[in-house]
Structure 1
Amino acid sequence: MAESAVKTVVGSVGNLAVQETKFLCRVTLEVCSLKDELMRLQAYLKDADSKWRSGNARVAVLVSQIRTAAYQAQNVIEAADYMEKRNRLKKGFMGAISRYARLPSDLATLRKIGVETRRVRRKISEIFSSAEHLKIDLDNTAEVNGQVEDEFPQDFVLMHQNYEDGVVMVGFQDEYKEITDKLVYEGQMLSVVSIVAMSGAGKTTLARKVYTSPRVKQHFDTVAWVTVSQKFKSVSLLKDIMKQITGEEDEPVDQMQEYEVGKTISEFLSRKRYLLVLDDVWETDTWDKLNRTIKAFPNSNNGSRILLTTRKQKVANHIEMPTHVHDLKELDEEKSWELFSTKALPSYRRSAIGDVGEFEELGRMLAKKCDGLPLALAFLGGYLSKNFNIQAWSNILLFWPSTNSTKMMGDILARSYKDMTDHCLRSCFLYLATFPEDYTIDVSMLIELWIAEGFISHAPKHEQEETARRYVADLAQRSLVQVTRRSMAHGWIEEIRVHDILRDWCIKEARHGGFLNVIDKTSGQIGSPSTYIMVSYRFSYQDFNGKNLRAARNIRALFGFQLQSTSLHKLRYLRVLHIEDTCLEDFSKAIGECIHLRCLRLIRCQDVTFPSSIGKLLYLQTIDTRGTYIALVPSSMWNIPSLRHVYLGDHHFVPRGVQQKELQTFWLVLPHTNGKYCNPDMVRFLGQMTQLTTLWLSTCPHIPAEMMNIFVNMPRLVDITLNRLSVLDKLPESHHFPQSLRSFDLSADDIKQDPMPMLEKLPCLVVLKLLGYGGRTMSCSTRGFPRMKNLQLRRFHVTEEWKIEAGAMPKLSCLILTSFTNMSKLPEGLLHVPSIDHLELNSVPLISVGDDNTLKELQQKGCEVIITRR
């Protein structure tokens, strides 16, 4: 991982202000020389990495020294750059006085920087000498310019549009029907259906397919899915279930005790036919623990079900209620080939392969070697999809390991990892080990972390975010991540998970290379080293009991998940701090010294106070405090020049006299105690953010209607969510909206005038969600909504008639109508929408399958129809 480290450092220092300043004089020259030496050092790394991995302990020490020197060099360069950035912010007469007053201190700092720079350069000179002594070759082909070439495949768009995420649902059609029938038709008593199989056999994929099926959606009044895993907490699972079935927000649920949560669930479900999925159950007493304070899941004799997946037969048989156990078998030879070929030889590439028959012959033999295990077939197929070379396929077949399935998948993973020629992609892949088992990873959050770490370089023709999303798509195509959700508006991957087998491999590889150390309460340091272990610069503590985190002072990233409490001491070189569900001590004292920090994420944490010194963090790109109460947001925070993404949850936020014009993402939840509503100061504050691409705003009790007028100055906006708008007489004209808008989610107490004539003219709108229209009629005209694919309309209680002219919404595929109390028939214009294939009617009492002609004809045309009376 040293090559990745040096590449990251070289790529990042080129953009620092230190190279432009005259004030730093000689230090500037020394810093530039330091960068040049880092670039030379990078040329040795491929050979050094290769020798280290072959077991040469002396080379391992050298590789560790190279990485350490690179990080020290970055720290020194940024110390000089930071001083220059700080001085540039002080403008005018008072700024000049301030700079003059700090001159003695700055000169002392410069001397320290000069001393440290010369020390690092001496260290690098020693490394060069050692490399020559160890006969490490200079690789003249190594990249030394810190730039990433445009290496993405030309067929990326095709891959992005046609690639099916996760383990393809191949070979399980019979099991799918059998399990669905058991859930829907198997009597009225509460009962369990268990899917049992070894890891990697496709249990979760099959359960997810059943869970999202139209038959299940229509049959059950409410559904919930929780992943149990080995180290679960009953109260956390119950809270998750409660949020899913009741729609309650995080804050009130998180403050409830276990008994209260269980009682609320029981009372709610007693009136519902429900389906609860418990995925990846390890222990026999899991069901007992979920019901220990109160029987949370009642038997109302109405056909409710529990769907359970597990690796252990005894777990499936333990619950004391009627149980159907389904042993999931391995795929047969033909089904194995079907799954493998879907991954390795996707249809959009077959036409470009001249000797596809030879690949198919080898592929069938390779698929047979996977012993019918879907995960192994997916891994191998994903790897070979990147290697359309007959010799490569033949070599894998020739040297196939004759060991158990876990070892086989480990070998495939190692091959796929080694095949990643882009070392930044390798770093992005190993970074997935920072998250706990079965953690659902938000891709936008992950991308912000990757960028903060410097893994995403500026590539020709690509923004950093676009490059990062291509990395995610690449990992998905290789079947190294499981895709759990895609964006309806953009088509890109929004959420992923990592399979346990893959995560364990990542942890072992990351720790061995000194990339990351994962620590939890049961196993301490995960992984048992057999060779030289490098010092880690990233630590991830997961459900750890210790208060003081045993992390080195020079670490660059610190993750904490569900810790009892922790304090941060002298971690001045941190670039990433990501803490969830933890009590933080002395945070306000420690954070002001972390001047290198890029990403600060505190999710559902306690005892957090933002000091005014947070304004000193001049490299900070992301602040995320969703679910964390903070009494006051200091005005100094808005002066941080690099700030791009801000997520504020449960804040007393009064934005008087501050501005921030460079934000790209702004996400804000104002608490119940924050006064009347989002005040005029907030409207003015948001109105100046001309660079925003994403706005998510929820306040209590209301957002003022004036908020709708700020969008005219936000041409870059593509995603808008406004929750709890007050009474809105009419929407602004379409030309007052950003024309790039792709997703618009608006909920209001009362929208008085038909919103469709304004919104249908937006040329890029793909997803529209509206709640609270109070008019009797609405209409969509010809050529309206030219790119709309997903339309969700809720709480249109008064609406009686909806007119859709022929030619409107030509690309609409999904329509969801909820709480249309007075509409007695569907608009006939839906029959002219050629692409509609999914229709949901929730609480639309006057429309039924037998009476509505439009509904009948849509079903006859193959449209999937789901009707619920909740």
Structure 2
Amino acid sequence: MAAEVPTIILLDKMQKMLLVLAEERFIFPGLRSRVGIAVNELKQILSFLELEIPSGTKLKAPFLPTVHCADYITESFLLTTLQRRRKGVTKFIKTPLMAFPPWTQLLFSLEMKKVVKSFRAISCEFTKTLDLANKTQDLSIQVSALEKKLIHLEPDVLVGREDLEKELVARLIHDNEQRLRVISLVSKEPLGKTALARKVYDRLDIRQHFQCRVWLRVPRDLEDHDRLLIIIKQILPRDLKNVELMDDTQLTYMLYNILMELKFLIVLDDVCSVDDWTMLVRSFPDTVNGSRVILTTRDINIASEVDPWSCPLELSPLTNEQSWELFLKKVRRQENSSDLNSFKDEILRICHGLPPSIVLLGGLLITLESSEWSKVTRSDPAHFGEDLSPLLHIVGLSYHRLPSVLKPCFLYLALFPKGYEIPTRRLLLLWLAEGFVQMSPKAGNVPEDVAKKYLEELIRRNVIEIARWKSDGSPKTCRLPFFLYDVFLPKAEEIGFVHIHHCGSDCTYADSSESSIWRFADQFGVKSISKSHIQHLCSYVSFEGQKRDISNREIGMVLNRIISKGGFILLKVLDLEGVYKPLLPENLGKLQNLRYLGLRWTCLHSCPVSIGDLPCLETLDMKYTNITTLPSSIWMAKNLRHLYMNGVSIKNPSKGSSTSLQTLMGLHIGSNESTIHFLDRFTSLRKLGLTFQSKSMKCISVISRLGNLQSLRLRSRDPFGQPSDLELKPLKEHSTLSNLYLLGVIKDDIHLLPQKLEILTLSLSGLKEDPMSVLGKLPRLNTLRLFAGSYVGSKMTCPALQHFPVLRVLKLWSLEELKECTVEQGAMPQLVELEIRGCKKLEKTDGLEHLPALKELILTNMTEDFVADVRRRLGRDKLISRTLSTSHN
């Protein structure tokens, strides 16, 4: 399992190599042929690897170093050629021969000769283990699933735990015991402990009952200091000065004092030892106010020791009826379906009542035709190895049936820490930078769209779970399920796909050519990588928290070591998101193969000027930093597709520059700049975010000509930083714009808004007339946010008669003059979430009880009388009251 992933990656590179060689007239004799033979041998070997032949396991070990070696020489050859072309070596040569220097071709050809010999030897050995007539499989059938339309994604369902959920809720909020109590959820097997805890943790009645909720996963390799920091930052999310510099005793004392004033619920997920509890419990005060701790563990002895007076809740496998109900929900089919019933007994037999098995099997079968189900449900577990547990059998089936293009993308999730919420934005761009996204020859395909399809397919197969959703129903963050992480992280490390540095550990690889690191992840503290380990390094990702004066120095040392090693620098990904002020070397531009540079949340005040010398750069993410300027040379990065900033000024590009920009967020245009004149060059733009002064308002006319634009954020300010005028008329006829954020005074009629908007946010708009009758006629609007100063009137009415037909989310923030709000019966029939925040003069609301789909009414920083009135009219099942406000960036 997983051994074929490096082969898939190499095969894709060598196929691209063939296309490059086909464009050249003068090639060293036999080079094309050798590459072609290597490609064919790789395809042959891949067919064996994907069959997961048990007897072929011993053959995989010597094969992987050959794959890694071939990957390195292929990548180096392509990089060499690319560098020569950029430096203009071929500029004055009439023939294209010099694009591939003769000695480079010769050396590469000799290396490929060795590679082909090794591949053939491995292929012959595999052939001996399996009848050739049975070895092939139609990979095109696997990939065809990606072309199917994704069924609307739904949150995970919890089946068969209703009684346990009621019991857990009762102990949390209905128990008369006021002293601090620990409620343990226990099962040796993965039966849904975390899912049950999460379901209860997110319930409205729980969120109302406890003033403070904290979720902490307790991995073995997470230091006590970091655990305390995670808890404190969840309670007080704002920046805490010097909190990282406190020792364990100071943090414990600080957390104890914070919790003394609160009724709290703390979830400790996946506790592996009593020592973990002993360390944390010192910071949990027993103030006799009904505070609770939920603890999930596999060990019943731990549950008994942490709270001898509380009876643990033990989870059991689902019954056949419960298992079948969960399965039907996962395949989204009706119980009376005859094709399903014929497989019912087989499905129940192989799932053994384990929720993860049912979820995975459902995700697998939903991608197949009913005629293929028997091949899966009647498969032999020995096909994947000996003595497999029921769950591992299903895991093997699910992974084995993944399309080849998805396997590297799936395995890449093991690079992130266990339980880590991965922003989908970050994940998709990393896949692209790594080269995992394979483009089909179909015209009009955009890599970002293909990457999104990959993610949707993995979600549909239930091998990725969604952690958080955006207001429009799309996934915001995702993660690898715990039980899959435990299986596939060792596999990914075993094949050399990733190397994870855990807390307190150093690199343990021996200094040899076979021990090179390809993808290195710092999960809990930066450690230096020796020179012998960076020869093949293509990705460096850090998950280090913002520990001042530690991470920055170590990161700088690592980068200097990479750059100073000489030769070819293969590094493609440098992701330092969240690392506090990493020291970036001034010669950063020497990373000629770098495609992803992640600096989000690094607190940097500047970046090296040489950042504009990164020719392969596709993504530059410096959002939420203190950087205010970038060199104009950044426009010369012709492969740049995504540029994330906030309030950054860049000088105009030269006339000869070109760009493939898809995303340009956070650009600042001053009053005396002519930047607006080149905006219309970016014809591929899909997302644009600008801050401009009123004198540059004509940029809106330029924006209206960007025919692919889908998301637009405009901030109009005067020289003193105050909101200035905005014009809507140029945007009226825009046919692709679906997400619009406007900060500034709207001078013309809001009837001029684009009609295909799905998400609209207004801030400081200064609207004097009630906008709801106009906005309610936007036929596709599903999210509306009216922030501070957007409406300055005192009355607001949401009329009926087909207004807001598909609106799901409405937020009214800091409308200081608003006194009355009325929702007429029949308006907003699909509204699920309503938040009213900081509207201090709002005294009267009518019609909220007529909203049939409303699930959450969130009141933040509202007067006590207003909250009490709404609570009395609606009841507690639709009300959450909060007192702390947060930023809406």
For the 8 Å contact 1:715–1:740, the answer to whether it is kept is: no
Match of residue 767, structure 1, among 776, 783, 788 = 783
1:610 has 2:604 as partner: no
Counterpart-to-counterpart distance in 1, 2:224 and 2:747: 46
Counterpart-to-counterpart distance in 1, 2:426 and 2:188: 31
1:365 has 2:341 as partner: no
For the 8 Å contact 2:665–2:688, the answer to whether it is kept is: yes
Match of residue 637, structure 1, among 623, 634, 638 = 634
Counterpart-to-counterpart distance in 1, 2:248 and 2:664: 33
Note the C-alpha offset of 1:534.
Answer: 8.8
Partner of 2:40: 40
Counterpart-to-counterpart distance in 2, 1:792 and 1:683: 34
What 5-or-longer segments of structure 2 have no aligned partner? 545-549, 724-743, 885-889
Partner of 1:76: 77
Counterpart-to-counterpart distance in 2, 1:800 and 1:131: 77
Structure 1 residues 602, 668: closer, same or farther in 2, change over 3 A? Answer: same
Aligned residues: 820
1:840 has 2:858 as partner: yes
Structure 1 residues 254, 275: closer, same or farther in 2, change over 3 A? Answer: same
Partner of 2:66: 65
Structure 1 residues 591, 28: closer, same or farther in 2, change over 3 A? Answer: farther
Residues 759-798 of structure 1 mapped to structure 2, 5 A cutoff? 759-760=775-776, 762-773=778-789, 774-781=792-799, 782-798=801-817
Structure 1 residues 266, 736: closer, same or farther in 2, change over 3 A? Answer: farther
For the 8 Å contact 1:578–1:602, the answer to whether it is kept is: yes
Match of residue 554, structure 1, among 536, 541, 552 = 536
For the 8 Å contact 2:159–2:326, the answer to whether it is kept is: no
Partner of 2:109: 118
Counterpart-to-counterpart distance in 2, 1:741 and 1:588: 44
1:348 has 2:333 as partner: yes
Structure 1 residues 43, 597: closer, same or farther in 2, change over 3 A? Answer: same
Structure 1 residues 500, 131: closer, same or farther in 2, change over 3 A? Answer: closer
Counterpart-to-counterpart distance in 2, 1:754 and 1:638: 43
Counterpart-to-counterpart distance in 2, 1:867 and 1:806: 24
Partner of 2:828: 809
Counterpart-to-counterpart distance in 1, 2:135 and 2:289: 72
Residues 699-738 of structure 1 mapped to structure 2, 5 A cutoff? 709=700, 712=704, 716-719=708-711, 726-727=722-723, 728-730=744-746, 733-734=749-750
Structure 1 residues 402, 518: closer, same or farther in 2, change over 3 A? Answer: closer
Partner of 2:298: 311
Match of residue 482, structure 1, among 449, 452, 465 = 465
For the 8 Å contact 2:522–2:543, the answer to whether it is kept is: yes
Match of residue 415, structure 1, among 397, 401, 406 = 397
Partner of 1:92: none
1:468 has 2:451 as partner: yes
Counterpart-to-counterpart distance in 1, 2:16 and 2:138: 14
Structure 1 residues 575, 83: closer, same or farther in 2, change over 3 A? Answer: same
Structure 1 residues 679, 446: closer, same or farther in 2, change over 3 A? Answer: farther
Partner of 2:220: 230
Structure 1 residues 800, 47: closer, same or farther in 2, change over 3 A? Answer: closer
Note the C-alpha offset of 1:205.
Answer: 0.8
Note the C-alpha offset of 1:690.
Answer: 5.7
Structure 1 residues 135, 153: closer, same or farther in 2, change over 3 A? Answer: closer
Note the C-alpha offset of 1:787.
Answer: 3.3
Note the C-alpha offset of 1:266.
Answer: 5.8
Note the C-alpha offset of 1:308.
Answer: 2.9
Note the C-alpha offset of 1:739.
Answer: 5.3
Structure 1 residues 349, 464: closer, same or farther in 2, change over 3 A? Answer: farther
Partner of 2:169: 180
Counterpart-to-counterpart distance in 1, 2:413 and 2:758: 29
Note the C-alpha offset of 1:485.
Answer: 1.5
Partner of 2:410: 429
Residue identity in the other structure for 2:217: T
1:663 has 2:661 as partner: yes
Partner of 2:9: 5
Counterpart-to-counterpart distance in 2, 1:559 and 1:14: 31
What SS does structure 1 have at the residue aligned with 2:145?
coil
Note the C-alpha offset of 1:374.
Answer: 2.8
Partner of 2:158: 169
Note the C-alpha offset of 1:65.
Answer: 2.7
Note the C-alpha offset of 1:518.
Answer: 3.0
Note the C-alpha offset of 1:213.
Answer: 0.6
Residue identity in the other structure for 1:811: Q
CA RMSD of the aligned region, Å? 4.9
Counterpart-to-counterpart distance in 2, 1:228 and 1:681: 52
What SS does structure 2 have at the residue aligned with 1:554?
coil
For the 8 Å contact 1:224–1:276, the answer to whether it is kept is: yes
TM-score (norm 2): 0.78
Partner of 2:842: 823
Q: Cα deviations across residues 479-534 of structure 1 (Å, max 9, x unaligned)?
A: 32332122321x33222222333213212222333333334355667999xxx999
1:619 has 2:641 as partner: no
Residue identity in the other structure for 1:472: L
Partner of 2:486: 504
Partner of 2:644: 647
Structure 1 residues 356, 592: closer, same or farther in 2, change over 3 A? Answer: same
TM-score (norm 1): 0.79
Partner of 1:577: 574
Moved more, 354-363 or 106-115: 106-115
Counterpart-to-counterpart distance in 1, 2:609 and 2:241: 26
Residue identity in the other structure for 2:166: K
For the 8 Å contact 1:507–1:526, the answer to whether it is kept is: no
Moved more, 246-255 or 354-363: 246-255
Note the C-alpha offset of 1:365.
Answer: 2.8
1:245 has 2:229 as partner: no
For the 8 Å contact 2:516–2:533, the answer to whether it is kept is: no
Note the C-alpha offset of 1:61.
Answer: 3.6
Percent identity of paired positions between Structure 1 and Structure 2: 24
For the 8 Å contact 1:5–1:67, the answer to whether it is kept is: no
For the 8 Å contact 2:267–2:294, the answer to whether it is kept is: yes
Note the C-alpha offset of 1:624.
Answer: 2.6
For the 8 Å contact 2:509–2:515, the answer to whether it is kept is: no
For the 8 Å contact 1:48–1:59, the answer to whether it is kept is: no
Structure 1 residues 692, 290: closer, same or farther in 2, change over 3 A? Answer: farther
For the 8 Å contact 2:35–2:112, the answer to whether it is kept is: no
Structure 1 residues 786, 824: closer, same or farther in 2, change over 3 A? Answer: same
Residue identity in the other structure for 1:513: I
Residue identity in the other structure for 2:332: S
What 5-or-longer segments of structure 1 have no aligned partner? 89-95, 671-676
For the 8 Å contact 2:304–2:312, the answer to whether it is kept is: no
Structure 1 residues 222, 12: closer, same or farther in 2, change over 3 A? Answer: farther
Counterpart-to-counterpart distance in 1, 2:672 and 2:138: 52
Counterpart-to-counterpart distance in 1, 2:286 and 2:713: 39
Note the C-alpha offset of 1:208.
Answer: 0.8
Counterpart-to-counterpart distance in 2, 1:802 and 1:686: 44
Residue identity in the other structure for 1:216: I
Counterpart-to-counterpart distance in 2, 1:139 and 1:132: 15
Partner of 1:673: none
Moved more, 677-686 or 794-803: 677-686
Counterpart-to-counterpart distance in 1, 2:19 and 2:605: 33
Q: Cα deviations across residues 38-71 of structure 1 (Å, max 9, x unaligned)?
A: 5434432334535886336567545643553355
Counterpart-to-counterpart distance in 2, 1:816 and 1:492: 20
Structure 1 residues 470, 141: closer, same or farther in 2, change over 3 A? Answer: same
Note the C-alpha offset of 1:849.
Answer: 8.3
Structure 1 residues 237, 624: closer, same or farther in 2, change over 3 A? Answer: farther
Note the C-alpha offset of 1:204.
Answer: 1.3
For the 8 Å contact 2:268–2:295, the answer to whether it is kept is: yes
